[in-house]
Amino acid sequence: GESVGLHLPTLSVQEGDNSIINCAYSNSASDYFIWYKQESGKGPQFIIDIRSNMDKRQGQRVTVLLNKTVKHLSLQIAATQPGDSAVYFCAEGKTSYDKVIFGPGTSLSVIP
Amino acid sequence: DSGVTQTPKHLITATGQRVTLRCSPRSGDLSVYWYQQSLDQGLQFLIQYYNGEERAKGNILERFSAQQFPDLHSELNLSSLELGDSALYFCASSVAGRNTDTQYFGPGTRLTVL
């Protein structure tokens, strides 16, 4: 399939371990944050989101943490599986009709 | 399958030419977004439409234009193509165009300008 081919930060994780993907966002006025997963040859896929009035949100095997003080967002994936291998993007925006800005992405590689 | 369709899947053309990329949103979604994903720029927002009207504009060049038709499908027109326009172009759709609405991405169109 097609791949982006960016020189992305890469995280290699053993299958079964937990993964932590980090993201620094740029705009202190952003109040809505999203994580997307992009598998090779596919478009980005929504994983989880969080609003600025929260500092943690959990989904199925994923947790997003938000630290507004240092403008930092992280995605934790529990018990990482080979199917989690993908590029992960954080995105920031405002809860108004404005554009969402995507970060550069991190490539996650799961070692079986 | 996100429910968003894009055609064509691949497009190869020459510099100076004009192409049209097409996107059909998910059934029921009123808003369409266009993104460009290139090797050195990552995923860049180009433009958003909601129910036929332009809603937000990003880093879209003047050589590029888009529209959303009454049946809600959208087209992205790229003209006077340059080598640097080679990229993946994604369309996404959402229910109402709010930032808090989940965007569903299509499979993309790979444009190669020779």
pLDDT band at A98 (very low <50, low <70, confident <90, very high): low
* Interchain CB distance below 8 Å, B99 and A95: yes
- Say which residues have a Cβ less than 8 Å from residue A98's Cβ, sequence separation at least 6: B56, B99
Residues of B in contact with A46 (CB under 8 A): 102-104
* CA–CA distance, A15 with B59 (Å, rounded to integer): 39
* CA–CA distance, B60 with B45 (Å, rounded to integer): 8
* Interchain CB distance below 8 Å, A104 and B42: yes
* Interchain CB distance below 8 Å, A102 and B39: no
- Say which residues have a Cβ less than 8 Å from residue B43's Cβ, sequence separation at least 6: A44, A89, A102, A105, B35, B36, B37, B90
Residues of A in contact with B4 (CB under 8 A): 43
Q: How far is B99 from chain A (nearest CA, A)?
A: 6
The more confident residue out of A111 and B97 is A111
pLDDT at A95: 78
* Interchain CB distance below 8 Å, B37 and A95: no
A84 DSSP assignment: G
pLDDT at B28: 94
Residue A4 has pLDDT above 70, yes or no: no
Percentage with pLDDT > 90 across chain B: 84
**CB within 8 Å of chain B, chain A residues 35-94:** 41-46, 49, 51, 89, 93-94
* CA–CA distance, B84 with B89 (Å, rounded to integer): 13
How do residues B22-35 score in pLDDT, each as one tens digit?
A: 999 999 999 999 99
Residue A91 has pLDDT above 80, yes or no: yes
Residues of B in contact with A105 (CB under 8 A): 42-43
pLDDT band at B97 (very low <50, low <70, confident <90, very high): confident
Print burial letters for A71-90: b (CB count within 10 Å at least 16), e (below 16): eebebbbeebeeebbbbbbb
Residue B100 has pLDDT above 90, yes or no: no
pLDDT at A97: 62
Residue A66 has pLDDT above 50, yes or no: yes
How do residues A31-59 score in pLDDT, each as one tens digit?
A: 999 999 999 989 999 999 999 999 999 99
Residue A63 has pLDDT above 90, yes or no: yes
Residue B90 has pLDDT above 60, yes or no: yes
Q: Which pair of structure tokens corresponds to residue B38?
A: 């290139």
Are A45 and B105 contacting, i.e. CB atoms less than 8 angstroms apart? yes
Residues of B in contact with A51 (CB under 8 A): 100
Least confident of A5-9, A76-80, B46-50, B90-94: A5-9
pLDDT at A5: 42
Residue A10 pairs with which residues in a beta bridge?
A107
Q: Which pair of structure tokens corresponds to residue A11?
A: 């995280």
